[in-house]
Amino acid sequence: MANARSGAHARPRHTVQELFTAATLPAHNSVLFNRGIDPHAIITIAEMHGQTMPCPTPPQFRVLYEIH
């Protein structure tokens, strides 16, 4: 157990990150490619519907992915 990490210096082996992309397949794929995200690292993609009130936002994809 001498190699075990603990306390403030401990880092998880895998970290989950989140990003939002435009809700179109070309825009989504472009963002993943430009950020170098491996398709196998994607945990989930959820469609976030746009809203018109009180602050208008376009539809988006919410992507959760794992980094090593």
List pLDDT tens digits, range 55-66. 888 999 999 999
Range of the domain at 46: 12-67
Q: Indicate the burial class of 23 (C-beta count within 10 angstroms; 0-12, 13-18, 19 or more).
A: middle
Distance of alpha carbon 46 from alpha carbon 18, whole angstroms: 11
Coil, strand or helix at 60: strand
Domain membership of residue 5 (yes or no) is no
In a domain, 32, yes or no: yes
Q: Tell whether 39 is covered by a domain.
A: yes
Strand partners, 67: 15
Parallel, antiparallel or unpaired: strands 42-48 and 15-22: unpaired
What's the pTM? Answer: 0.72
Q: How many domains does the chain have?
A: 1
pLDDT tens column, 35-47: 999 999 999 999 9
CA-nearest of 65, 67, 68 to 19 is: 65
- Answer whether residue 2 is part of any domain: no
